[in-house]
Amino acid sequence: MSTLHSNLLVTGGAGFIGANFVRAHLAHDPTARVVILDALTYAGNLGNLEGIDAERCTFVRGDIRDTPLVCDLLRQHQLRALVHFAAESHVDRSILGPDLFIETNIVGTHSLLKATRLVWLEEEAGAHRFHHVSTDEVYGSLELRDAAFTESSPVRPNSPYAASKAASDHLVRAYHETFGLDAVITNCSNNYGPYQLPEKLVPLLIVNCLLGERLPVYGDGLHVRDWLHVQDHCNAILLALRKGVAGETYNIGGENERTSLEILRLVVSAIDHAFERDASLATKYPQCPAAAGRSCAELVAFVRDRPGADRRYALDITKARRELGYCPHAIAGPKFEAAFRDTVRWYMANDSWWKSVMDGHYREWVALNYNNR
Ligand code: NAD
Ligand code: DAU
């Protein structure tokens, strides 16, 4: 890899995908160095970075809206490429309070664009790369019969979160068109894997099964998402850094469309079977129904849906396959179910991690989101 793509500023690197990406990048490129800029909001956690070689990874606690700080980091560490993960990322939170989403996702992204324009275009022209990580939610919702979204599908975001990400995508594109910033956008589908905060569906279901708490299913549970292993996503970003063309957008999906109920059944069956095979789990998780020989399915509770809930997301990944050589499951293994069971096992084995992130603030949020549903 060239130094351009080896040494990176990674925003939001203490979050779920950012931390997985830092690990993947450092493992993939032995010469790589990373500077992480992360505000450590409720979603950021230094525990996600445990075990990473501090010689190769500098952590800076700071806000992406602090443009002078970003300029200083780019200059001081001579960084010419950036991967931008930092965001408010949870749809439910954007429904309860959109303001922070506007601040972080739109104003924050614009702050990074201003800093990179100043340092990379005005002070020291040369090769550079701004990689913006975005979401399939910007395209809005599909009916079951509709074809998957392509990169030229209209942008029709439905939640404040999705709208804020769409706005940030537009700003990145505009900085490319207007100022010549070398920028690439990837829009990906629902990630799952290690280090995901248990406010998102997959880890929430796993942790609630283990703690014997209810499994909240929004609406009829038939909303469809395209589930993507976080390692496949990180691999796609690494490919896009090297092969992505400035000004282009690439859809990154897992080609794994599943309803929430199908995901729930996978979680329940993985946990029920694990308890049958390993008697020590009953001692570790005595509140889990499987500890008493019952199925975790008894915890299912249908609750009120999100207002404006998107029915289905699906991504057409032809362009990323053709132009980047992207292939989902290249890392996670050939079968979605196998990768998914590995994820469930990771949470069963790493209870100290998820217990540490489920602090008082987390509990307050759960009460706010779920109590009146
Ligand atoms: P996350 O919520 O787990 O982590 C976000 C990180 O950003 C945290 O470490 C947080 O501390 C940091 N952060 C928030 N505001 C900040 C600020 N003002 N300055 C600096 N750091 C700040 O998010 P995630 O799930 O890892 O998602 C990462 C990116 O990928 C986001 O841009 C999200 O929109 C996008 N995305 C996520 C998914 C998914 O399934 N999780 C899917 C598609 C796209
Ligand atoms: O599609 C990409 C997006 O995926 C990302 O841009 C977001 O950052 C990420 O949070 C995720 O958004 P979703 O809203 O799709 O993910 P979430 O895990 O919150 O919900 C997935 C589905 O599960 C959705 O239909 C709502 C449902 N759900 C969710 C929760 C938290 C439930 O039924 N019960 C729940 O408790």
Q: What is the pLDDT of residue 362?
A: 87
Delimit the domains of the chain by residue range: 3-193+227-255+311-329
Q: What is the pLDDT of residues 236-267, one digit of tens each?
A: 999 999 999 999 999 999 999 999 999 999 99
| Phi, psi for residue 224 in degrees, rounded to 5 | -110, 135
Provide the token pair at 294: 């019952």
Instruction: Give the amino acid at 299.
Output: L
Tokens of residue 4, six digits: 């351009």
What is the whole-number distance in angstroms between the Cα of residue 201 and the centre of ligand 2? 6
What's the pLDDT at 5? 86
Distance CA 109, CA 39 (A): 14
Residue 34 sits at φ, ψ, to 5 deg, of -135, 140
pLDDT score for 336:
86
- Please give the sequence-ordered ranges of beta strands (E in DSSP) within the chain, or none if there are none: 7-11, 33-38, 57-61, 81-84, 129-135, 183-188, 190-192, 215-218, 224-229, 249-252, 257-259, 300-303
Give the Å distance between the CA of 15 and the centre of ligand 1.
Answer: 6
Which of these CATH numbers, 3.30.43.10, 3.40.50.720, 3.40.50.300, 1.10.10.10, describes 3-193+227-255+311-329?
3.40.50.720
Query: What is the whole-number distance in angstroms between the Cα of residue 319 and the centre of ligand 2?
Result: 25
pTM of the model: 0.98
Q: Which of 135, 137, 188, 190 to mutate to test the pocket of ligand 2 (most atoms within 8 A of CB)?
A: 190
Query: Which ligand sits nearest to residue 110's alpha carbon?
Result: 1
Between the CA of 190 and the centroid of ligand 1 the distance, in Å, is: 13
Pocket of ligand 1 (CB under 6 A): 11-12, 14-18, 37-41, 43-44, 63-65, 85-87, 89, 104, 108, 133, 135, 165, 188, 190-191, 197
**142 close to ligand 2 (CB < 6 Angstrom):** no
Pocket lining: 139 vs ligand 2, CB cutoff 6 Å: no
370 lines ligand 2 (CB under 6 A): no
Tell me which residues of the chain have a pLDDT lower than 50. Answer: none
Q: DSSP strand E in 120-267: where?
A: 129-135, 183-188, 190-192, 215-218, 224-229, 249-252, 257-259
- Identify the pLDDT of residue 359: 84
Say if residues 296 and 210 touch (Cβ distance below 8 Å).
Answer: no
Q: Which ligand has the nearest atom to the CA of 357? A: 1
Which pLDDT value is given to residue 331? 60
**Ligand lying closest to the C-alpha of residue 304:** 2
**Phi, psi torsion values for 294, nearest 5 degrees:** -100, 165
